[in-house]
Amino acid sequence: MPHTHTPMLGNARKFYVGTSSGNPASISYAWLAGEQNNSVNLNGNPIEVSDKNNVWQKFIQGVRGGTAEVVVMADDEDAQQMKALDSLVAGSTVLCFVGTLSSSTPSAGIAFEAIINNISDTNDNNAVATRTMSLTITGAPTLYPTTRS
């Protein structure tokens, strides 16, 4: 059967920060105002298990992890941006979701807990000030929709 799903535009998949805690399915999320772009990168760290009988390397899946990055227009009045800044200063984690919401809960995308590694403000002449946030995912992410066929 041919694939008939229409691809989603990138501007529909937004970066959200959790406004509550608990089970990922019951967390409410709010958009990072002024978002310009985002990316999520999941990776599996391969472990080489080759032996000397073969010239080709062989690997098994090792530990997995991920990173995320979001660029927003800097807005010190946006509660979610300030929550992220506070999390970095406090050394605490932040709950995130990248994708689409149904009301304020995840519909399609990826939810994760992360530590914020870096927040950089860029203030170029004759340009909108931007804020780039780099995050490391801690623990296993939750993929939505959670049921797959």
Structural domain total, the chain: 1
Domain around 98: 10-50+60-144
C-alpha dihedral (88, 102, 141, 91), degrees to nearest 10: 10
pLDDT in tens, 44-80: 999 999 998 989 999 999 999 999 999 999 999 999 8
Over 70: is that where the pLDDT of 4 sits? no
Evaluate whether residue 98 is within a structural domain: yes
Instruction: Name the one residue in this structure whose structure tokens are 């992360």.
Output: 114
Report the relative pairing of strands 29-31 and 93-102 from DSSP bridges. unpaired
Evaluate whether residue 1 is within a structural domain: no
Could you give the 3-state DSSP secondary structure of residue 100?
strand
pLDDT in tens, 20-39: 776 666 788 889 989 999 99
- Cβ count within 10 A of residue 137: 22
Evaluate whether residue 32 is within a structural domain: yes
Spatial contact of 36 and 72, defined as CB atoms under 8 Å apart? yes
Evaluate whether residue 149 is within a structural domain: no
pTM for this prediction: 0.85
Evaluate whether residue 110 is within a structural domain: yes
d(CA 29, CA 19): 5
Task: Tell me the longest C-alpha to C-alpha distance in the chain.
Answer: 62
* pLDDT classification of 103: cutoffs 50, 70, 90: confident
Residue 74 sits in a domain of what CATH number?
4.10.410
